[in-house]
Amino acid sequence: MFSGGNEEKARGKTQGVLLDETRKVLDSSRELVNVFKSVIENDEKKVNNSIKKIGEAEDEVEGYRRALTRELAEVGSLLMNREDLLKTAYEIEEIAGYTSGVAFRISIVDNKSLKKPTIKKEFEELLNMIIELVHKLNEMVRFLAVNPDN
């Protein structure tokens, strides 16, 4: 049978990787605001830089998910909730993909239509909502890392 220390160490490593993954998704969702502002300013260079940052973050999230998969394969049956952790990692990776898709779609919208006050306000509210939701997800994962028994 495994000792409690090994289980705690394995749980800590996997939750650390999950935290890194959610942090990257949060950073990329914040970058959506820069894409939006750059499209309004009609600054194609800034738009492309922001989209590149979001794409790189998406790649990093995939790397974190792969690292988590390897870590869970190594610990075997040591963690009782490994399927839940893996499913969560895949869901977070999917959010990163959505963020990348949203950034691309914002980049192809005509900036004249985004400058209209009502549309601009609705986009800003939507982007703030996205950031808030991903931030709450990040806080949830952080809470689980601090209080794993909850």
Can you give the residue range of the structural domain that contains 99?
Answer: 4-145
User: 18 CB contacts (<8 Å, ≥6 apart)?
Assistant: 64, 68, 85, 88, 89, 92, 141, 145
CATH number at residue 115: 1.20.58
**28 within 8 A of 100, measured Cβ to Cβ:** yes
pLDDT tens digits along 123-149: 999 999 999 999 999 999 888 777 666
Residue 13 located in a structural domain? yes
Residue 150 located in a structural domain? no
Residue 62 located in a structural domain? yes
- Number of structural domains in the chain: 1
pLDDT tens digits along 73-124: 877 666 667 788 888 899 999 999 999 999 999 999 988 988 999 999 999 9
Give pLDDT, residue 80.
Answer: 67
pLDDT tens digits along 15-58: 888 899 999 999 999 999 999 999 999 999 999 999 999 999 99
Residue 107 located in a structural domain? yes
